[in-house]
Structure 1
């Protein structure tokens, strides 16, 4: 296979880059290691299957006032959104030997927004604008070799076979740390560049989310917002995860480290989380109709061994992510590389737009020199 631009990663950054290239009439091929598009965006039903009215196991919130880049894309795609439910009292669990305390809630500013149907609504809208024959799922890029006219990629498929892809330019729309750990380069990238990629923490990769689904949001009728904080655990931060259509749920971030989660196991963690929700929200919380659990640190398409411990939130950094001989031929466009909102949904949009703009500018300059 041959293409002007190869995009590695079918998350928000990769899909937005594909959309912008397609609009500019630049041919591309997109390769995604998973059997689905979306990357860390993962909106599912109660069985864990991707859904058009799903619960967000990955990122859920965006703030259009603080992050106009994502706000503009949501508006352009005409995606309906709604405010994160936060009306009512909050619950705070300080220690195991005393009951949780209830406090008056407060209005959140700026308000967190959620997309109707889950964050996967972005994935569906972007994918709908792309030619199907340009997207390849279950394709893992394992190597990149630099030649005189571009890059040769080695791509593994789900059956264990390999194929080569020739590309004039490659956009790596995945976390820098994951790129450094999973793709070999010939010639090798510079020591400084590899070190920087490796030291850039993949945002939210060490974390796990737990959801308890109910027939109705009973906590609202009892004057509770669904928001809780705990110093006891296993959940440390809990919120109302009810969908725009009224499918009721509570979700929380686990405060248990990745290695300890692996040792305890999902079944015991699920039981402990449900028991905690019962302490915080009463007996009705002890009877969820379903539960969901997603440990991102155990997802090889997201995290490396280095991501099993928490890392600092990536900071905007205007230094080039690529140097040396590779600089004209590859770009990094994962959310962590954003110059405005690294790690966030908005960062993925920004990084993709910045990368495609540079490619278009480079092609224009080359045409003018002819």
Structure 2
């Protein structure tokens, strides 16, 4: 059924995809409102300081690496926002841990081409740069969308706020900038999407949702003078892949991906993982690694704004490619724009930018073609 959009656009989700969509809408002069369930923006992008607070010069508890030479949209976006890259540190030997009973083996690090890059200030710098470009009052934190109903004028979205109360917002179109699987589990639709659509949402893995990251912060990167890159691979764990994550400003740290499955992390608890991870770093990098200034630990499988019951076991990477994410009953009223819906690089930061911009362009083109979306403010 054809329709026209007569009201503002609601963006549900304040991660990179949602912010990229809102940025393009704003630049085109289209009115939008954004709601985000968390009390912070960024979604799976979370750059934290030593106390776990949001930081403009911290450590990436979520995605960190980018490849701007492979992803022109990432380069263009960073240049547009005035952001700078620096290379992932890789000078020195890599360690390989076969068991805890023998000394780790040393190997020369092969130069990666193109090199993995990081954003100065952390991945969160792209989030703060985008948020700073929006008018005040457009973004509402601590607002979790729970249902959407078709109305005569458009759609009505109900969301729950921090004090537990509910509010309704009528809008012309909704961009769901969130993982499809999370959308399927947390949102009630009236009418319900068809079965094939719901199966596609539930069958799409949420990138990073089953994983956990551990960080050990130090006064200095003591491993570098010892000829080590800070990189290591382990067959024993709990950390299976380890890297130097020292910031561009020189704050020293090592991080590792936790290889313990989510259900066992949940049973053992975060403290046990942290203690075992510090002990492992001592085995790899020597006694100095046993006394970090502090540690950070983020279990994404325990984050209800990221992971669902289906994300507790890793099921691979989102497939990518062009897909029909919305059935004909909802196609004119909602757009899916989570990173997993990107045709290229789904789940990654480049995919989030692609998906968010694609959603915005669809609505901008509709304004040009039909002149049905109002201009709320200028460039």
Q: TM-score, normalised by structure 2?
A: 0.95
Taking the TM superposition and a 5 Å limit, the aligned residue runs for 1:199-218 are 199-218=203-222
Mean Cα deviation higher: 318-327 or 201-210: 318-327
Gaps of 5+ in 2: 1-5, 373-379
Q: Which whole-Å CA distance do the structure 1 matches of 2:25 and 2:77 have between them?
A: 16
Query: RMSD in angstroms over aligned alpha carbons?
Result: 1.1
1:131 Cα offset (Å): 1.0
Preserved contact between residue 3 and residue 28 of structure 1 (Cα < 8 Å): no
Aligned residue number for residue 111 of structure 1: 115
Aligned residue number for residue 239 of structure 2: 235
Preserved contact between residue 67 and residue 341 of structure 1 (Cα < 8 Å): no
1:217 Cα offset (Å): 0.1
Preserved contact between residue 214 and residue 290 of structure 1 (Cα < 8 Å): yes
SS of corresponding position for 1:198: helix
Taking the TM superposition and a 5 Å limit, the aligned residue runs for 1:197-346 are 197-346=201-350
Taking the TM superposition and a 5 Å limit, the aligned residue runs for 1:4-15 are 4-15=8-19
Residue number among 35, 41, 44 corresponding to 1:40 in the alignment: 44
Q: Which whole-Å CA distance do the structure 2 matches of 1:55 and 1:310 have between them?
A: 24
CA deviation profile, 1:233-256 (whole Å, cap 9, x unmatched): 000000001001100000000000
Aligned residue number for residue 149 of structure 1: 153
Moved over 4 A (4+): none
1:317 Cα offset (Å): 2.2
1:212 Cα offset (Å): 0.2
Residue number among 27, 32, 36 corresponding to 2:31 in the alignment: 27
Q: Which has the higher contact order (CA 8 A, sep 6+)?
A: 2
Q: Which whole-Å CA distance do the structure 2 matches of 1:305 and 1:147 have between them?
A: 31
Mean Cα deviation higher: 307-316 or 6-15: 307-316
SS of corresponding position for 2:196: helix
Q: Which whole-Å CA distance do the structure 1 matches of 2:113 and 2:268 have between them?
A: 37
Q: TM-score, normalised by structure 1?
A: 0.98
Q: How many residues are paired up?
A: 367
Q: Which whole-Å CA distance do the structure 2 matches of 1:55 and 1:334 have between them?
A: 23
